[in-house]
């Protein structure tokens, strides 16, 4: 199982430089080639950023698409878990967003797929860096 970091989806939806790599991951999830988890925090971040960029058309397509993906789970943390994430943040070099991704990946035993080099500071979790 893989946790897909927020930046992977944003790279694709904002048609940035590495959108082809992000698109490959999205297609693999869509076609059932890999099982993935998306944190609720990441989902809301994607929604927020796309709405700020006036890309609600893409956001709507994304939400419709992922609602039908049978091999994509979305996990929303509880307040108690957010307190644990805060502890992770305070005890590691990760900010809250990255600590949230780390927490959810650990919970699911998932490997993180990301463009974020901050995860190079993590040694107790598998991370695939897209380049």
**8-state DSSP, 69:** -
Give the per-residue pLDDT at 79.
98
Helices (H), 35-95: 40-52, 56-68, 79-90
Mean pLDDT of 19-46: 96
Please choose, from the candidates 27, 118, 68, the residue with its C-alpha nearest in 3D space to the C-alpha of residue 100. Answer: 118
pLDDT band at 131 (very low <50, low <70, confident <90, very high): confident
Tokens found for residue 130: 């897209």
Give the per-residue pLDDT at 67.
93
- 2-129 has CATH 3.40.50.970 classification: no
Q: What is the pLDDT of residues 92-109, one digit of tens each?
A: 999 999 999 999 999 999
Q: What is the pTM of this model?
A: 0.93
Mean pLDDT of the chain: 95
Q: What is the pLDDT of residues 41-69, one digit of tens each?
A: 999 999 999 999 999 999 999 999 999 99
The residues near 123 (Cβ < 8 Å, ≥ 6 apart) are: none
Kindly report the backbone phi and psi dihedral angles of residue 37, in degrees, each rounded to the nearest multiple of 5, phi listed first.
-130, 145
pLDDT above 70 covers a percentage of the chain that reads 100
């Amino acid at each position: 199982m893989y946790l897909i970091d927020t930046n992977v989806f944003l790279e694709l939806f904002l048609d940035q430089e590495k959108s082809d790599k992000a698109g490959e991951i999205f297609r693999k999830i869509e076609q059932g080639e890999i099982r993935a988890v998306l944190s609720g925090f990441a989902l809301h971040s994607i929604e927020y950023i796309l709405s700020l960029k006036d890309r609600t058309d893409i956001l709507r397509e994304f939400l419709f698409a992922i609602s039908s993906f049978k091999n994509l789970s979305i996990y929303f943390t509880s307040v108690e878990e957010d307190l644990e994430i805060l502890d992770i943040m305070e005890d590691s070099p990760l900010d809250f967003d990255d600590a949230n991704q780390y927490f959810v990946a650990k919970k699911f035993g998932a490997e993180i797929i990301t463009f974020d080099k901050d995860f190079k500071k993590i040694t107790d979790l598998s991370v695939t860096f897209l380049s």
